[in-house]
Amino acid sequence: MGHPYDIEHASDLHVKWCQALMQRAGLTTTHQAGPQMRAVMLELRRSLSPDAVLAIANVLPTLERGIFLEDWDLNQPPNPPEDAAEFFDRIYERIKGHHAPVPSIASDVFWVLQNELGPAEAEVVRKNLPASLAELWPD
């Protein structure tokens, strides 16, 4: 029995997303892009209610869904940032030991989501963003 396409090609798709982020953010390798995308996704998840987390997780490809839900604790209350600057600071804290995120990293990851997901799936992500992060979603 064969594997579903999204599972069989999850790594290829993840690399494609990292390459898109690398080009968008002006990073030099996918080894920079991957951890920065992960940090944005984990901080986004930290900012959301369980219903919003599940709504977004359900539209993500297999590997990105796994990254998004990694070590998720349903009992931890949502902690949305007050603004985009606080969100960036949280991202920075996650990766500062290995990488220096570009200031636009959150909006760059949101750009990847908007451009790599289908329009309906991207809209699910956009409508579930905390109000404090709505300005980071690409027009």
Place of tokens 């600057």: 85
**pLDDT digits 0-9 by tens, 50-79:** 999 999 999 999 999 999 999 999 999 999
Place of tokens 């030991």: 97
Q: Which of 38, 32, 5, 10 is nearest to 19 (CA)?
A: 32
Q: Measured between alpha carbons, how far is 53 from 2 in angstroms, rounded to an integer?
A: 30
**pLDDT digits 0-9 by tens, 78-118:** 999 999 999 999 999 999 888 777 899 999 999 999 999 99
What is the fold, at CATH topology level, of the domain defined by 28-136?
Answer: Globin-like (1.10.490)
Helices 62-69 and 10-25, axial angle in degrees (round to 10):
70
- Report the alpha-carbon angle 109-16-83, nearest 5: 5
What does the chain come to in residues?
139
What is the pTM (predicted TM-score) of this model? 0.91
Ranges of each domain in the chain: 28-136
